Amino acid sequence: MSDIKKVVLAYSGGLDTSVILKWLQDTYQCEVVTFTADIGQGEELEPARRKAEQLGIRQIYIDDLREEFVRDFVFPMFRANTIYEGEYLLGTSIARPLIAKRQIEIARETGADAVSHGATGKGNDQVRFELGYYALEPNIKVIAPWREWDLTSREKLLAYAESHGIPVEMKHKTGGSPYSMDANLLHISYEGKVLEDPSREPEDDMWRWTVAPEKAPDQAQYLELTFDRGDAVALDGKPLSPAQMLAELNRIGGLHGIGRLDLVENRFVGMKSRGCYETPGGTLLLKAHRAIESLTLDREVAHLKDDLMPRYAAMIYNGYWWSPERRALQALIDHTQQTVNGWVRLKLYKGTVMVVGRDSREDSLFDPTIATFEDDGGAYHQADAAGFIRLNALRLRIAARLNRSR
């Protein structure tokens, strides 16, 4: 007899988590509470409620977390210009700490003694979820069915569903998408099947949010993003909430074929994995944010941020959002953003995005009287550079003399 009485399941209503729901009931003889997070995946969530009700679930949570997701997770990450291994904008990684946080809150509200997720034992998400659980509730019990059961294939999942009377949509019976997909307001990811051969180009009809760059409009489009303390707050002069901003940038960027990525990445668990991603809005945000920082950040502060960013990105990718080191680094990053105010103009054309203007009237460190190629009226004394160069060359000159004497 299990000592687990109630478990909160991160539940999408799809095949995997529907099987997990029934498996938890049968294996642990416990009550299951379902939690479905709306983080902008663009799917109708009421079917998940109806399916949970069909399976006898009494406590069903469906929460709209879109604004919290962008405001408290995506935007703080973008203040650091965060990318993993030079390319990945961490769309899946940044969603997991929010889901873990809300699961723990629900466990407390309902008196549950365990939480459960549908991540497999091969991937990063199991780590991200569970590091979040333990950081927020150190004594919580965690059930990861993919590490316990013998349902190791889609065929076995379908057979289990059929034998236990679990409703299965036709798309699952007929195969559905050939990819494993994850979507939220920041991105959509594709893994599995044909993508498991890194030498093969993905089919063009795989992409959901972006047109092929060669099929994008023949006319460029200009956007103007306004920033306040490092966050985008207005688009073409119109104030938008964080979720509205990202959704609109996704729409516009997608129209111009911006934000596609085909990547072989290094998972935290040790293996390499090939994934494809669409992050149109995030691509525009990153470009614009770096542009406004170029005007408003001191050189050494900007370089320090660039030095620290890969470590910050690894923390998020590996699941350490709730760690003390990430919180400490976030405090530093947020402190640097106090002067990151102004606007940036972007030019979008056939899969490319170019910064074509930027201004920060109150906080710009760009001084045209010093930077000019024309007469600067004595603002900068060029002769001073000779001593600067000689001092910086001193160690090089000493080494050169030593080398000549050998």
Catalytic residue set: 16, 96, 125, 180
Q: Return d(Cα 230, Cα 292) in angstroms, integer.
A: 8
What number of other Cβ atoms are within 10 A of residue 287's Cβ? 18
Q: Return d(Cα 161, Cα 153) in angstroms, integer.
A: 12
Query: Distances from the Cα of 145 to the Cαs of 80, 88, 119, 126, 160, in angstroms?
Result: 35, 28, 8, 11, 14
Given a contact cutoff of 8 angstroms between Cβ atoms, the answer to whether 198 and 229 are in contact is no
Beta-carbon-side half-sphere exposure of residue 368 (alpha carbons within 13 Å): 2
Given a contact cutoff of 8 angstroms between Cβ atoms, the answer to whether 17 and 161 are in contact is no
Phi–psi pair at 178, nearest 5 degrees: -75, 0
Q: Report the 3 state secondary structure along the chain.
A: CCCCCEEEEECCCCHHHHHHHHHHHHHHCCEEEEEEEECCCCCCCHHHHHHHHHCCCCCEEEEECHHHHHHHHHHHHHHCCCCECCCECCCCHHHHHHHHHHHHHHHHHHCCCEEECCCCCCCCHHHHHHHHHHHHCCCCEEECHHHCCCCCCHHHHHHHHHHCCCCCCHHHHHCCCCCEEEECCCCEEEECHHHHCCCCCCCHHHCCCCCCHHHCCCCCEEEEEEEECCEEEEECCEECCHHHHHHHHHHHHHHCCCCEEEEEEECCCCCEEEEEEECHHHHHHHHHHHHHHHHHCCHHHHHHHHHHHHHHHHHHHHCCCCCHHHHHHHHHHHHHHHHCCEEEEEEEECCEEEEEEEECCCCCCCCHHHHCCCCCCCCCCCCHHHHHHHHHHHHHHHHHHHHHCC
